[in-house]
Amino acid sequence: MKQYNYKDLSKVDIQKLVARNVDANNRIRESVETIISEVKAKGDEALKSYALKFDGVDLDSLFIEKEEINRLANQISEKTKNAINIAYQNIKKFHETQISKEEKVETTTGVTCWREARAIERVGLYIPGGTAVLPSTFLMLGVPAKIAGCKEIVVCSPPQKSGEVNGYLAYVAQLLGINKIYLAGGAQAVTAMAYGTESIPKVDKIFGPGNQYVTMAKTLVQSTTNTAIDMPAGPSEVLVIADETANPIFVASDLLAQAEHGVDSQAVLVCSSQKIIDKTILELEKQLFVLPRKEIAAKAIDNSYVVLVKDLQEAMTFSNEYAPEHLILATDNWQKITDQILNAGSVFAGNLTPESAGDYASGTNHTLPTSAYARSYSGVSLDSFVKKITFQHISESGIKNLGPSIEILAEIEGLQAHKNAVSLRLKEIKE
């Protein structure tokens, strides 16, 4: 990992450091635009062609249904089912606390306003495949979708070499009561859910993380269709803030946990102790050597760096500029700095709180904004799957009280019909 000293960095240097996943020559955009055009024009035929090209699978059908899902789910061990059940229950418990009913408010005597939530009817869940299949992502997206009451949940995931999905995804589908999984991955799956094909229904909103191609596809289809997206959630990242109270063994493990996601993942250490930095670097080398995905993790670590700061406040300044997807506070003093956090997707406080907990089973959602989008986006929650509709009711006293103000405002804007809509009611009441 490259090492920098914060005091030696200019504003320009910092901006370069915090930039990531930049498609400077539009190579990714152009590739995704081609995929979008193909899927729009050829539908299922294009999806099957891309499955052969990218996944090495010649598909007869683009989906599996309940009977096949049950068969695959029954192949996994009871121990694994139990672990998934625990994660499911914790995620469900956390997201159920987000159910809320807002109170009605009388803004003026006789004028009552309120909001009510309605589930988004058709949602699309993208569950990545690639170098790792993620049943945890299926839980993170499927559980709040079910709690929200979405009528149609379309699930897309890249096919395995067998032409199916693995038993872990199938078991999650069982838990969620989802009876069909579509065998499509990457930008092509996003496009299919945005436009619809012969097999895959068009949805109202697309959810799910992915690589830079998936993120680009989500961004493009959002601008060209009436399909919304959860957020631009691309390659994963972590920033660890550490001081002299951090455990270098734990810090190294957290950096590597992020690095093994993919070669384009990033793991950043911001630390106020050179001693801890040196020990962490040594520990990284030890732990990396025994990882099954060490080649992937090593490339990601090469794309990562360390910043030496003078104290935790300076570390937080850098962190807020970086706006990490995952922020780990590897310090016994974490309570002193949490109120300074402005930009982060999810925070892991204290030396015994690994980011892995949030990825799997603590209950919080792991679908989070990356690439500094934490400055403006929240992670997925129950609110992501609902719309908030405003209501108002005006009584006779209400229109009498508020009507004259509306008339004046409509008149100064030159909108006579708006004024008339009030004036005629006031006249009717008077008469």
CA distances from 217 to 126, 230, 317 (A): 12, 13, 32
Q: For residues 260 and 134, is the Cβ–Cβ distance under 8 A?
A: no
Q: Is 283 left (phi over 0), alpha (psi -120 to 50) or beta?
A: alpha
How many whole angstroms separate alpha carbon 127 and alpha carbon 207? 9
16: amino acid identity, one letter: K
Residue tagged active-site, from 326, 355, 407, 411: 326
Residue type at position 404: P
Active-site pick, 260, 325, 355, 366? 325
CA angle in degrees (0–180, nearest 5) for 390-393-398 = 130
Is the distance from CB of 141 to CB of 155 less than 8 angstroms? no
User: For residue 136, which phi and psi values (nearest 5 degrees)?
Assistant: -65, -40
Report the distance separating Cα 177 and Cα 255, nearest Å. Answer: 36
Sole residue written with tokens 């094909």: 197
Closest to 139 (Cα-Cα) out of 185, 103, 91 = 91
DSSP alpha helices (H): ranges in 135-233? 135-148, 167-176, 186-195, 212-224
Rama region for 86: left / alpha / beta (φ>0; ψ in -120 to 50; rest): alpha
Decide the pairing of beta strands 205-207 and 228-229: parallel
Residues 6+ apart with CB under 8 A from 3: 277, 305, 306, 307, 308
Please state at what angle helix 78-96 crosses helix 135-148, rounded to 10 degrees: 40
Does 326 participate in catalysis according to the annotation? yes
SS3 223: helix
CB 169 within 8 A of CB 27: no
Give all strands of the β-sheet with 122-126 in edge-to-edge order: 63-65, 180-183, 152-157, 122-126, 205-207, 228-229
Does an H or E element contain 154, and which?
A: strand 152-157
Q: So which residues are the catalytic ones?
A: 325-326
